[in-house]
Structure 1
Amino acid sequence: MTVLHSALDTTSPDYAEHRAEMLTKLADLGTEHAKALAGGGEKYVARHRKRGKLLARERIELLLDPDTPFLELSPLAAWGSDYPVGASMVTGIGVVEGVECVVTANDPTVRGGASNPWTLKKALRANRIAYENRLPLISLVESGGADLPSQKEIFIPGGALFRDLTRLSAAGIPTVAVVFGNSTAGGAYVPGMSDHTVMIRERSKVFLGGPPLVKMATGEESDDESLGGAEMHARHSGLADHFAVDEPDAIHRARRIVARLNHRKAYADPDPASVEPPKYDEDELLGIVPGDLKIPFDPREVVARIVDGSDFDEFKPLYGPSLVTGWATLYGCPVGVLANAQGVLFSAESQKAAQFIQLANQRDIPLVFLHNTTGYMVGKEYEQGGIIKHGAMMINAVANSKVPHLSVLMGASYGAGHYGMCGRAYDPRFLFAWPSAKSAVMGPQQLAGVLSIVASGSAAAKGKPYDEHGDAALRAMVEAQIESESLPAFLSGRLYDDGVIDPRDTRTVLGLCLSAIRTAPVEGVRGGFGVFRM
């Protein structure tokens, strides 16, 4: 039998403690998500509604098929920065007329929907997801353009937004723009470069330069409507393909555009009736990861609660036991799973991972990485045993693998282990984190200790006494800094993941991602890996 047996004791004090800690972190996370949901605050939301306009998420809700999920991406973008949480934009994946699409929507209640540096990063990430997974891109536009005080951080990289639209179209991936208000200056190229454009009577305003700029540049007197109104673009310039009378009509027209795209998935969805749910309750995922990440946990307990039927064919279970590898299905889709067990990656685990990744590529099977690693093992014995070349073998395999990768940070994800387990730099199709996750070059205590040893050695080399009191203060400061910079909200704010999720939603989130990636062909590399140092 390959059905995993759970040894999790849900009546134990440890389980209760872990669950309580996770619920506390989820509550804190909910507070931060609420900031994004609030947009620009009550004052600006009320002003927007007074103008008879829908909010960004209301527009998305009308666009999507009824009772279908919306996988919101990067909701904590800009957290910890000088800009509002959410970066004045909502992005995600949803179903429109039966077609999975990437949707982006400016939030006009936040500085008129103006784009700041984090808005740009968030939009570029959404574009990349659309491109990699061949998902149609629908842009719900209402923006005053760049947030001018931050133009130096937006102007040069911002051109990639328009480049992406042309590349999506060239690749046969449909792009649709629905303009709800201003789309000015560089923003005018969003409707201009989209395959299909919808504008709204007396609402849409699309021009390279508004009346004040035209007056300054040419001396010409003009008004919004004659310069860039929806009717002008529908009747004269030809920029508007569809002329809507109001917001619901515009959204309806966008849905009809998608219905006529003739856009098909590369693979048919598995029959939902044939998918067997896990044998164990997803709610139990709350009590698996300890608050202290130095304490190991068995990742099979996580696997048993996310894969179909808790059925898992483990690969090399007795070799390299600190990394669990094996085959399963998730919502009927075949997957290979790599999950850290004891945290540290040794030579055997690295070689095992490289072979497993090669097998997945031979079989065109997507890979799921479940992170809880402190990195590759250090020390004389391990260096002499070839940990560098074996770790390099694993990283080589991950870097050159062509099947889609999905990563979930459950606990620690430190050092080169983060790379070997397909961290952000290795381009997983999607990467999510649990509230319990931490990621940095190394743990706070280790990093502070290294700095302390280096400083002490430097003082000794110069023949100077070492300030032990100052050392203690320095270590405390460094530990606090690294701890704060390792937390999920900090990392998510910088778009180093696609969102921090409730552990109970892991199966659903991975299922939505697997469905999205099946719009594009899944093909592994055949012999195209770099040189493995044997």
Structure 2
Amino acid sequence: MTVLVSRLDTSSGEYGTRREAMLAKLAELEAEHAKAVAGGGQKYVERHRERGKLLPRERIELLVDPDSPFLELSPLAAWGTEYPVGASVVTGIGVIEGVECVVTASDPTVRGGASNPWTLRKTLRAADIALRNRMPYVNLVESGGADLPSQKDIFIPGGQVFRDLTRLSAEGIPTIALVFGNATAGGAYVPGLSDHVVMVRERAKVFLGGPPLVKMATGEESDDESLGGAEMHARASGLADHLAADEYDALRIGRRIVRRLNWREGGNVPASGYAAPLHDEDELLGIVPEDLKVPFDPREVLARVVDGSDFDEFKPLYGPSLVTGWASVHGHPVGVLANASGVLFGAESQKAAQFIQLANQSRTPLVFLQNTTGYMVGRDYEQSGIIKHGALMINAVANSTVPHITIVMGASYGAGNYGMCGRAYDPRFLFSWPSAKSAVMGPAQLAGVMSIVGRAAAQARGQVYDEEADAAMRAAVEAQIESESAAFFLSGRLYDDGVIDPRDTRTVLGLCLSAVTGAPDAGRAGYGVFRM
């Protein structure tokens, strides 16, 4: 039998404590998401509404199919920085006329929708998802261009936004721009480089230089409408393919464009008639301990995520601190690698490499469930070849050509982050639970290493080591690393695609697996299966 049997005791005090801790983190997450939804604040939202305009999420809701899910990406972008949470743009994946599309929407209530450095990173990530997964790319545009005080961090790398639009089109991936307001300066190139352009009458303003700049540069007197109005672009310049009467009309036209694309997704068709997990997803709240040094069984997570709680484990008796096996999620077959005790030893590394190769042979997407403290250190492990074994696993991950999706449930420290397909290894999608933490090592370990190095340096100089200063240093370093390794901090810097409620894991995985099937098979990796 391959159906998982849960041993989770939901009546225990331990379960209750873990659940309460997770609910507290989720309350914090909800509060931060509310900041992103609030945009520039009540004053600017009301001003926007007084102009008869829709908010970005309202535009998206009208654009996507009724009652279909919208997977918002990076809602915490810019968290912990000088810029507003959300980075003045909404990005995500939604279904339009039955077609999965990447959608971006400027938030004009935040500094007129101007782009800051985190807006840029978030926008580039959206374009990358569209390109790698061959998904039509729809831009809902109302932006004043670059946030000028931060231009030094935007101007040069920002050119990639326009390059990406041309690359998408060159690959035959449709790009669509619906212009609701300003698209000025560099922002004018978004409609300029899109395959299909819709502009709203008396609202859209698309020009390289506005009237003040034109006056300064040429002495010419002009007005917004004659310089870059929607009607001018529809009748004179030809930049607008469609002239919309209002925002609702623009969104209707946008849906009609997608319907006429005759878009066909590639990839495998998921199995129908799959069963839901046998165990309640709500119980996922009480699995991860507050202290991430305490291990937990990832099979308890799988029992509440995979179809029918059916998991066919591979090499269950070998390398037991890494769980590997086959399952399906919403009918999509997957191979799973999930950390158990957290530590990766030589056997686990070899097991992972073989399993990744098998998944590549069968062209099965891989799901990585991270909770790792990294590869084991120590004399015996070094002598037994932990470096080459870890390198073997990292090599297999790096050269795997099937889609990867990573969920960081708990710890993600050291090279374990790499071997379990962290952001640097380019998974198609990466999401975190609120309990996730990631750094070069744990806070106490990092502070301890610095203390040992400092103590050795003082001894070499023949100095007396300042124990009081050492204690203060360790406390400061631990606090810093604790803060910088937290899920919100990392998500704010786009090291994941969002922090999610553990109860939504199955849904998020299903949406991601559906998205990755749109791309053609990348072809087999350059090696056959071999034992190590």
TM-score by length of 2: 0.99
1:117 paired residue number: 117
* SS of the residue 1:479 aligns to: helix
1:222 paired residue number: 222
Distance 1:268 1:159 in 2: 35
2:303 paired residue number: 304
1:424 paired residue number: 423
1:370 paired residue number: 369
1:405 to 2:404 alignment: yes
2:50 paired residue number: 50
Summarize the alignment of residues 352-371 of structure 1 with structure 2, pairs less than 5 Å apart. 352-371=351-370
1:277 to 2:279 alignment: no
Summarize the alignment of residues 209-288 of structure 1 with structure 2, pairs less than 5 Å apart. 209-267=209-267, 269-270=269-270, 272=272, 274-288=273-287
Q: For each residue in 1:175-212, what CA deviation from the matched residue of structure 2 results, as whole angstroms up to 9, or x when unmatched?
A: 00000000001000000000000001100000000011
1:90 paired residue number: 90
1:289 paired residue number: 288
1:25 paired residue number: 25
Deviation, structure 1 residue 270: 3.1
The residue type paired with residue 312 of structure 2 is D
1:477 paired residue number: 476
Distance 1:245 1:92 in 2: 26
Distance 1:271 1:403, change over 3 A: closer
Summarize the alignment of residues 123-272 of structure 1 with structure 2, pairs less than 5 Å apart. 123-267=123-267, 269-270=269-270, 272=272
Distance 1:433 1:257 in 2: 35
Distance 1:524 1:358, change over 3 A: farther
Q: For each residue in 1:100-131, what CA deviation from the matched residue of structure 2 results, as whole angstroms up to 9, or x when unmatched?
A: 00000000000000000000000000000000
The residue type paired with residue 324 of structure 2 is T
Cα pair 2:401 2:525 within 8 Å, conserved:
no
Distance 2:321 2:528 in 1: 24
* SS of the residue 1:334 aligns to: strand
Cα pair 2:418 2:424 within 8 Å, conserved:
yes
Deviation, structure 1 residue 528: 4.7
Deviation, structure 1 residue 520: 1.0
Distance 1:164 1:529 in 2: 34
Distance 1:408 1:388 in 2: 25
* SS of the residue 1:526 aligns to: coil
Cα pair 1:401 1:524 within 8 Å, conserved:
no
1:465 to 2:450 alignment: no
Distance 2:435 2:420 in 1: 17
* SS of the residue 2:415 aligns to: helix
Cα pair 1:393 1:533 within 8 Å, conserved:
no
Q: For each residue in 1:416-463, what CA deviation from the matched residue of structure 2 results, as whole angstroms up to 9, or x when unmatched?
A: 000000000000000000001100000000000000000000000000
Distance 1:189 1:528, change over 3 A: farther
Summarize the alignment of residues 64-83 of structure 1 with structure 2, pairs less than 5 Å apart. 64-83=64-83
* SS of the residue 1:413 aligns to: strand
The residue type paired with residue 164 of structure 1 is D
Deviation, structure 1 residue 75: 0.1
Percentage of matched positions with identical amino acids:
77
Distance 1:211 1:115 in 2: 21
Distance 1:466 1:529, change over 3 A: farther
Q: For each residue in 1:225-262, what CA deviation from the matched residue of structure 2 results, as whole angstroms up to 9, or x when unmatched?
A: 00000000000100000000100000000000000001
* SS of the residue 2:377 aligns to: coil
Distance 1:527 1:180 in 2: 48
Q: For each residue in 1:294-349, what CA deviation from the matched residue of structure 2 results, as whole angstroms up to 9, or x when unmatched?
A: 11100000011100000011000000000000000111111000000000000000
1:108 paired residue number: 108
The residue type paired with residue 59 of structure 2 is R
Q: For each residue in 1:385-418, what CA deviation from the matched residue of structure 2 results, as whole angstroms up to 9, or x when unmatched?
A: 0000000000000001010000000000000000
Deviation, structure 1 residue 26: 0.4
The residue type paired with residue 326 of structure 2 is W
The residue type paired with residue 209 of structure 1 is G
* SS of the residue 1:336 aligns to: strand
Cα pair 1:361 1:523 within 8 Å, conserved:
no
The residue type paired with residue 242 of structure 2 is H
Distance 1:83 1:533, change over 3 A: farther
1:446 paired residue number: 445
Question: Unpaired runs of 5+ in structure 1?
Answer: none
The residue type paired with residue 173 of structure 1 is I
Distance 1:148 1:64 in 2: 33
1:322 to 2:339 alignment: no
Cα pair 1:180 1:199 within 8 Å, conserved:
yes
The residue type paired with residue 504 of structure 2 is D
TM-score by length of 1: 0.98
The residue type paired with residue 519 of structure 1 is G
Distance 2:485 2:41 in 1: 29
Cα pair 2:271 2:332 within 8 Å, conserved:
no
Cα pair 2:400 2:525 within 8 Å, conserved:
no
RMSD: 1.2
2:486 paired residue number: 487
Deviation, structure 1 residue 265: 1.1
Question: Unpaired runs of 5+ in structure 2?
Answer: none
Deviation, structure 1 residue 275: 1.4
Distance 2:35 2:303 in 1: 34
Cα pair 1:398 1:420 within 8 Å, conserved:
yes
Distance 1:271 1:326 in 2: 18
Deviation, structure 1 residue 522: 3.3
Distance 2:379 2:161 in 1: 49
The residue type paired with residue 362 of structure 1 is Q
